[in-house]
Amino acid sequence: MPGTVLIIASESTRREQLREELKELDCRVVAASHAEEGVEQAARVAPDVVLLENGVSEHDPLEVCRRLRVELPAARLPYIMLLPPESRRIDRAAWNDLVRALVGSAQANGDDVLQCGPLRIDTQRYRATLGGDELNLTLTEFRLLTQLMLDPGVVHTRAALCEACGRDSQAIQERTVDVHIKSIRHKLGDHAYLVETVRGVGYRCRDSQPARL
C-alpha cells in the first residue's frame, strides 16, 4: 500500500514544490496551509510522515505534535520532519531518500492497523474508528470485524467466523452471527456497505460502495 505524506506549509508555492519533488516516491501527498488544517487532515488520512514548516500559522512545532498525539491513535502516530528554511540549500536526493525510508518504516510499524475505506481497526489496542470517530463495538463485534478486514474481498462462512472468534463461553454461536453482523452494520451507518452479505455463503469486507445501476 502506498504511503501517505502530509505537508504543512503556509506558502502555496512551497507546498506545490514539495508535492512535485515527492512524486517520485510513489506515495500519496496531501497538503495543508496552517496547523489547524494540518491536524484535521492528519485525523482524516493518518499520514506516515508529516513535513512541518517551523513556525507555521499560530502554532509552534511542539504544539502541532501534541495535537497530533491527541487526534491520532498511538499506533498511527506519524514521523514528523521539520522543513528546512527555504533559503537553505539541501541535497534533494538525500532528502527524498530520508522521506522514503521514514514512510517505509512507518508502514512496517503499522502492521497492527487494518483499514478498509474509512474504517480502521487497531488490533493491539482493540480500537475501531470510522472516519476518525470511535466505534463502540462489543468484543465479539470487534473480533468479527477484524476477521473480515484481515482478508478484504474474501468470503467468510459463518462457521469460519465462529472459529476465528473462538469457542469459549463468551464466543458466538453460528446461528447468532447474523445478529452480530446486523449490529455492526447499524453502527457503521452510511458505511454499512463495508460488510457485504454473500447469500447462501457468509460475509465479506469491501472497501468501495456498490455501483448503482
72 shares a domain with 145: no
Q: How many structural domains comprise the chain?
A: 2
147 shares a domain with 49: no
Q: To which residue does cell 540549500 refer?
A: 89
Domain end: 47, 79, 111, which one? 111
pLDDT at 150: 86
29 shares a domain with 125: no
The answer to whether residues 35 and 59 touch, using CB atoms and an 8 Å cutoff, is: yes
144 shares a domain with 118: yes
120 shares a domain with 101: no
Residue 209 grid cell: 460502495
Indicate whether 170 pLDDT > 60. Answer: no
Indicate whether 33 pLDDT > 60. Answer: yes
37 shares a domain with 71: yes
Residue 121 backbone phi and psi in degrees, to 5:
-130, 130
In a domain, 128, yes or no: yes
Indicate whether 24 pLDDT > 80. Answer: no
CB atoms closer than 10 angstroms to residue 127: 17
86 shares a domain with 9: yes
Describe the strand order of the beta sheet including 195-198 as a list of residue ranges: 156-157, 202-205, 195-198
Q: What is the pLDDT of residues 42-53, one digit of tens each?
A: 888 778 888 888
In a domain, 212, yes or no: no
Q: What is the pLDDT of residues 54-66, one digit of tens each?
A: 766 566 788 888 8
Domain extent, residue 104, equals 4-111
121 shares a domain with 199: yes
CA–CA separation, 83 vs 161, rounded Å? 47
In a domain, 188, yes or no: yes
In a domain, 211, yes or no: no
Q: What is the pLDDT of residues 108-144, one digit of tens each?
A: 555 567 888 889 888 766 788 888 788 999 888 998 9
Domain end: 79, 111, 143, which one? 111
The answer to whether residues 119 and 149 touch, using CB atoms and an 8 Å cutoff, is: yes
Q: What is the CATH number of the domain that holds 53?
A: 3.40.50.2300
In a domain, 56, yes or no: yes
Domain end: 82, 111, 140, which one? 111
Indicate whether 73 pLDDT > 90. Answer: no
- Say if pTM beats, i.e. exceeds, 0.75: no
